[in-house]
């Protein structure tokens, strides 16, 4: 919670997004994914509070540490609003900013499992809220794992009429291609019938 906000601040979706430095679309996505709790009234009259703002701040911090959304959701589910607000009000742990490649190396290395900087910061203070550890996933055995088969495809966009498009991934098997061509002809015929 920022010091300029009253303790019972209520925000519109747009205000919440602006304060958190995200777009309203991002807030809606987080609500749909269960990362943010929904409010009673949906729509333009919905009002969000400082707990939502704190959760958005914590989500952004965890994303900067390259945490996947599923893991962020799991961590947030284990915390109540007071714990989230306490963690979000703490300064972000300082440390070297690592890249996504560093994160992948860290989680796939069989010899070294490094903790995320945020987890190290929580364990450094005994009074701080600690997040539950996630189970370790053993890395795949690269010697016996076949490389993934790369299949190339191309999307074709066909405009059938105003505001109507058909998207087709090519190449198609011959029998499917014939059916798709027939479908296109039928759709165009139907749309031409509706023309004045």
CATH top-level class of 13-124: mainly alpha
Q: Which residue has the higher pLDDT, 180 or 114?
A: 180
Mean pLDDT over 142-153 rounds to 65
- At residue 162, does pLDDT exceed 80? no
- At residue 129, does pLDDT exceed 70? no
Per residue in 27-77, pLDDT (tens digit) is 888 888 888 888 776 667 778 888 888 999 888 888 887 788 888 888 888
Mean pLDDT over 69-92 rounds to 83
What is the percent of the chain where pLDDT is above 70? 62
Q: How far is CA 123 from CA 17, 134, 191, in A?
A: 31, 15, 64
> At 177, is the pLDDT very low, low, confident or very high (cuts 50, 70, 90)?
confident
- At residue 117, does pLDDT exceed 70? no
Residue ranges covered by each domain of the chain: 13-124, 154-193
What is the model's pTM?
Answer: 0.45
Three-state SS at 82: helix
> Are the beta carbons of 53 and 27 closer than 8 angstroms?
no
């Amino acid at each position: 919670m920022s010091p300029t906000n009253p303790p019972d601040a209520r925000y519109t979706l747009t205000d919440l997004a602006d304060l958190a430095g995200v777009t309203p679309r991002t807030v809606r996505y987080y609500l749909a994914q269960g990362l943010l709790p929904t409010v009673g009234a949906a729509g333009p009259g919905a009002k969000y509070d400082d707990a939502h703002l704190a959760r958005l701040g914590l989500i952004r911090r965890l994303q900067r540490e390259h945490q996947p959304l599923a893991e962020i959701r799991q961590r947030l589910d284990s915390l109540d609003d007071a714990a989230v607000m306490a963690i979000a009000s703490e300064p972000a742990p300082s440390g070297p900013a690592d890249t996504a490649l560093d994160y992948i190396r860290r989680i796939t290395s069989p010899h070294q499992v490094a903790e995320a900087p945020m987890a190290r910061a929580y364990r450094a203070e005994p009074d701080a809220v600690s997040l539950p550890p996630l189970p370790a996933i053993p890395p795949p055995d690269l010697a016996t794992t076949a490389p993934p088969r790369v299949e190339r495809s191309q999307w074709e966009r066909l405009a059938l009429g105003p505001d109507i498009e058909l998207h087709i991934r090519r190449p198609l098997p011959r029998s499917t291609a014939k059916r798709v061509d027939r479908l296109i002809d039928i759709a165009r015929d139907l749309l031409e019938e509706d023309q004045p």
